[in-house]
Amino acid sequence: MRLAGAGTSGWDKGAPGGVKSSKNAWNTAGDGVGRLGGNVKQALTTLEQGQKGMGAQGVLSAAAQREVYQSWKHYLDGMTGRCAALQERLEKAGNHQYKGDQQITEAFDEMKKQYKDTPATGGQNAGR
């Protein structure tokens, strides 16, 4: 699927096949990503509340739990930032703040540099 304006000189002309850029579609996508980011923040808050009182020193299970907590906190903090960055780009595209498809592509490519996907876990044969 091509974005509107791909290969044309303007957004209003649409891409081959009659696909047009819709402000509503971009903004709806941005809104959905924003809600997801809010849900992730809520999960992080719940995780932080569950962490309270887990300060027993010298207990191996408490140490392991702190390590897991820090790992998830780091992951969820990153996901919250990624949702905010994606929402911003989607809304800018919907409001035609980018100057065509090239600038949209560059904005999303820049985000790929900042937020690298983590490798998949489980289900891999690990060279077996």
Convert the pLDDT of each residue in 74-126 to its tens digit. Answer: 889 989 999 999 999 999 988 888 888 899 899 999 988 888 776 766 655 55
28-64 per-position pLDDT tens digit: 999 999 999 999 999 999 888 887 766 655 667 777 8
Q: Which H or E element spans position 49? A: helix 23-51
Cross-strand pairs, 15: 19
What's the CA gap between 64 and 60, in Å, rounded? 6
The domain ranges of the chain are 19-114
| pTM beyond cutoff 0.75 | no
More confident: 102 or 65: 102
Q: Which of 35, 34, 30, 41 is nearest to 78 (CA)?
A: 41
**What contacts 69, CB < 8 A, 6 or more positions away?**
47, 51, 54
Q: What is the DSSP letter of 19?
A: B
Is the CB of residue 11 less than 8 Å from the CB of residue 99? no
Strand-pairing partners, residue 19, are 15
Task: Give the model's pLDDT for residue 49.
Answer: 85
